[in-house]
């Protein structure tokens, strides 16, 4: 049996750790990413220990200086991570003791890796929630710009992927932005529960030292301290909430990208994606594949899987901390990487979208998109809506037989279906008249699109 070296926690053990077990249990290969937050939390912990008299101020200053130098080592890529030391925490603590001597061993007074890792993960997520929120805002602003550029562009709106009513392209982009704004709001709400300090819970029961958790919370920018030590070290609800918010963000991006893929298809031809955002085929020279939106759509599965993984990870755990929770970090890290990468490339893609306005308009002329406008016209002429619905249905069937749009029928033909139809009917049968008539907050009228853009930009200042 091959064994490792003595562990920092190995006083109770008679045998060294089997190397196979050491490889299986180490986490530093992935949790090293927590190092900035681990060092930040340790400096705050040392300052708190000095404040309550467990360390002297000189000791805390020396510890903080040593940790700062270690951070510079890691930032510069000069730090050697040792799997035998298991995780990011023990690697940094061991290096601190190498640098400043026995004093480094005092840093862990009054805390456990259980509350330490919970604190690190919360600091990490808080940072990335703010970063992701910024990317959501950037993508949303890019959609506002595109909406403004195409405020008057008409394309068919769909339900059941069948042509329903004409809408403006700008209105459609604002719908996408609404999704991203809800995603930002969810992350902001999640941040409130992330921003609670578990440090001081120690292993599970608290500590005998006269710690000042409120002071540590202030140093680290936490809004509150966790009220129960058992829950503080074992809670991962905040990570699951984050995963849920990310999964929904990715679902939204996937829906948008699905439409981009459809619209870029020559059978639709609504948009063109520049070559720099596409790839070709290894065998078919004519192909221009929308790989960027396809890959964003594909990455969504990883995000949804991450949410399921965290829920499954927690479902059978008794209080308090269990080693199962080592597995939360690869999932959280992948969620962060996935959503940030996808938002960055999506935000870069949006301004590059080229809209074919004529093709969009021509498509809206197919499918009898103004049929509802004709029904509403008849209602305004005094016909009950259900009767108007029946009349227009018959008119559409007639137009289908003639392979003509409603607006292409003659007045005499339309009058066969209702004597209430007059010459003014053609105002409502045009695409421009249809979208302009939806002139209220939330409507697709171009002036409402521009008003919504102004409100959105004002609110974001």
Q: How many residues does the chain have?
A: 461
| Lookup result for tokens 């330490």 | 116
Q: Which of 127, 229, 281, 440 is catalytic?
A: 281
Question: Which tokens sit at 309?
Answer: 């993984």
H-type helices in 164-236, by residue range?
169-194, 213-220, 229-234
Angle 400-403-407 (CA atoms, 0-180°, nearest 5)? Answer: 85
CA distance 124 to 186: 18
Q: Which of 29, 37, 89, 160 is catalytic?
A: 160
Q: Using DSSP, state whether 14 is helix, strand or coil.
A: coil
Closest CA relative to residue 428, chosen from 369, 370, 388: 370
Catalytic site includes residue 89: no
Angle 52-57-59 (CA atoms, 0-180°, nearest 5)? Answer: 110
CA distance 230 to 226: 10
Catalytic site includes residue 4: no
Question: Which tokens sit at 273?
Answer: 């994606």
Helices H, strands E: what count in the chain?
19, 6
CA distance 362 to 57: 76
| Lookup result for tokens 């009767």 | 387
Q: Name 271's Cβ contacts closer than 8 Å, sequence gap at least 6.
A: 260, 263, 264, 353, 354, 355, 356
List active site positions. 160, 281
């Amino acid at each position: 049996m091959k064994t490792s070296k003595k562990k920092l926690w190995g006083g109770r053990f008679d045998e060294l750790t089997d190397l196979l077990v050491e490889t299986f249990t180490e986490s530093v290969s992935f949790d090293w990413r927590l190092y900035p937050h681990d060092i930040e939390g340790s400096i705050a912990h040392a300052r708190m220990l000095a404040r309550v008299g467990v360390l002297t101020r000189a000791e805390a200053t020396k510890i903080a200086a040593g940790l700062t130098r270690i951070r510079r080592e890691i930032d510069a890529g000069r730090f050697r991570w040792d799997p035998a030391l298991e995780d990011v925490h023990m690697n940094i603590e061991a290096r601190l003791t190498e640098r400043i001597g026995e004093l480094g061993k005092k840093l862990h007074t009054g805390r456990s890796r259980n509350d330490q890792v919970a604190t690190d993960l919360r600091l990490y997520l808080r940072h990335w929630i703010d970063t992701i929120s910024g990317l959501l805002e950037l993508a949303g602003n890019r959609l506002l710009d595109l909406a403004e550029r195409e405020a008057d562009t008409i394309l068919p709106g769909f339900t059941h992927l069948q042509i329903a009513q004409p809408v403006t392209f700008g209105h459609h982009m604002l719908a996408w932005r609404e999704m991203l704004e809800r995603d930002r709001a969810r992350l902001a709400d999640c941040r409130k529960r992330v921003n609670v300090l578990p440090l001081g819970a120690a292993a599970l029961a608290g500590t005998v030292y006269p710690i000042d958790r409120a002071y540590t919370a202030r140093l680290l920018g936490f809004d509150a301290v966790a009220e129960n030590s058992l829950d503080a070290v074992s809670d991962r609800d905040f990570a699951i909430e984050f995963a849920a918010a990310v999964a929904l963000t990715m679902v939204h991006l996937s829906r948008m990208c699905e439409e981009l893929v459809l619209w870029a298809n020559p059978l639709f031809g609504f948009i063109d994606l520049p070559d720099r955002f596409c790839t070709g085929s290894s065998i078919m020279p004519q192909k221009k594949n929308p790989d960027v939106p396809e890959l964003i759509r594909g990455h969504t599965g990883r995000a949804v899987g991450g949410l399921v993984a965290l829920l499954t990870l927690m479902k059978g755990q008794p209080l308090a901390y269990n080693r199962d929770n080592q597995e939360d970090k690869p999932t959280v890290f992948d969620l962060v990487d996935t959503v940030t990468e996808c938002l960055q490339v999506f935000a870069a893609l949006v301004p590059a979208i080229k809209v074919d306005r004529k093709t969009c308009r021509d498509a809206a002329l197919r499918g009898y998109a103004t049929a509802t406008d004709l029904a509403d016209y008849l209602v305004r002429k005094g016909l009950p809506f259900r009767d108007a619905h029946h009349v227009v249905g018959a008119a559409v069937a007639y137009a289908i037989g003639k392979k003509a749009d409603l607006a292409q029928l003659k007045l005499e033909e339309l009058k066969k279906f209702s004597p209430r139809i007059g010459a003014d009917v053609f105002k409502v049968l045009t695409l421009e008249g249809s979208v302009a008539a939806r002139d209220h907050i939330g409507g697709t009228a171009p002036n409402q699109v521009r008003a919504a853009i102004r409100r959105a930009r004002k609110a974001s200042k």
